[in-house]
């Protein structure tokens, strides 16, 4: 049976759980689409063009504060999501699912929403690179990583709901992301550089924080 255009739009905008439909950034796929397109345009064209004839900004203090914020934020996400995720117990159930009350399910959705917000905040990584004129760091892998994290996280949140699999992925991603924030500190980067492992470490961390499914 075919669908009319309005029916297709309504279907696409329908959330797995109607209680989260009106949450910020969740109601329509148009929102993440516009954000990702704007991000790519700024990262690849607008940003480097605006900074072309300008001196790079010294953001050392800003980056330190930002990295500390990310460490605290991701540590919190890891703790609350991991504590709520019961992956081992779910595998022992016939349907591989944990039964939760409506209130607890909504609370888990809240953790997922904060996770998505953190992926949006992560876009500042690229903005800082642009302002510091570190354009060589804005690679395809970098842009793909940040874009994919938002798209996949949003899609899973809106259309698939709360699952143990998503909880494990989010918790592990938050843990690895905390590590990347630590590595960005000067002393860690200097050590990695002296060992000739900085590029390898960065690639490994990107692989650990970008889903391949």
pLDDT per position as a tens digit, 49-78: 999 999 999 998 999 899 889 888 888 888
> What does the pLDDT look like over 124-139, one tens digit per residue?
999 999 999 999 999 9
Position 5 in a domain: no
- Alpha helical stretches, state H, the chain: 5-13, 30-41, 47-51, 60-84, 87-91, 102-121, 124-131, 140-155, 164-183, 186-194, 198-209
As a whole number of Å, the CA-based R_g of the chain is 19
In a domain, 21, yes or no: no
As for how many domains the chain has, the answer is: 1
Measured CA to CA, the distance from residue 29 to residue 79 in angstroms comes to 29
Q: What is the b/e burial string over 150-184, where b = at least 16 CB atoms within 10 angstroms of the residue's CB?
A: bbbbbebbbeebbbbebbbbbbbbbbbbbbbbebb
For residues 210 and 147, the model is more confident at 147
Average pLDDT, the chain: 80
pLDDT score of 104: 80
Owning domain of residue 91: 29-53+60-209
- Is the pLDDT at 81 greater than 60, yes or no? yes
Catalytic residue among 21, 136, 145, 177: 145
Tell me the whole-structure pTM to 2 decimals.
0.78
Residue 23 above 90 pLDDT? yes
Residue 7 lies in a domain: no
10: in domain: no
- Residue 3 in any domain: the answer is no
At 97 the pLDDT is 60
Q: Is 145 a catalytic residue?
A: yes
pLDDT greater than 90 at residue 31: yes
Three-state DSSP string of 2-16:
CCCHHHHHHHHHCCC
Q: Is residue 1 part of a domain?
A: no
């Amino acid at each position: 049976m075919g669908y009319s255009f309005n029916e297709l739009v309504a279907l696409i905008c329908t959330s797995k759980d109607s209680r989260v439909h009106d949450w910020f950034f969740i109601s329509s796929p148009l929102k993440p689409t516009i954000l990702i397109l704007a991000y790519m345009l700024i990262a690849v064209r607008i940003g480097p063009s605006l900074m072309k004839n300008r001196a790079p900004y010294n953001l050392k203090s800003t980056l330190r504060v930002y990295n500390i914020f990310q460490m605290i934020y991701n540590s919190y996400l890891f703790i609350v999501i991991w504590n709520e995720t019961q992956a081992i117990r779910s595998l022992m159930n016939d349907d591989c699912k944990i039964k939760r009350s409506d209130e607890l399910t909504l609370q888990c959705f809240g953790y997922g929403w904060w996770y998505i917000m953190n992926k949006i905040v992560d876009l500042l990584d690229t903005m800082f690179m642009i302002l510091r004129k570190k354009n060589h760091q804005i690679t395809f892998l970098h842009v793909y990583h940040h874009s994919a994290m938002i798209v996949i996280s949003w899609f899973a949140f809106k259309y698939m709901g709360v699952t143990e699999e998503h909880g494990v992925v989010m918790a592990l991603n938050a843990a690895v992301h905390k590590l990347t924030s630590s590595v960005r500190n000067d002393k860690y980067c200097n050590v990695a550089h002296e060992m000739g492992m900085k590029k390898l470490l960065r690639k490994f961390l990107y692989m650990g924080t970008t889903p391949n499914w």
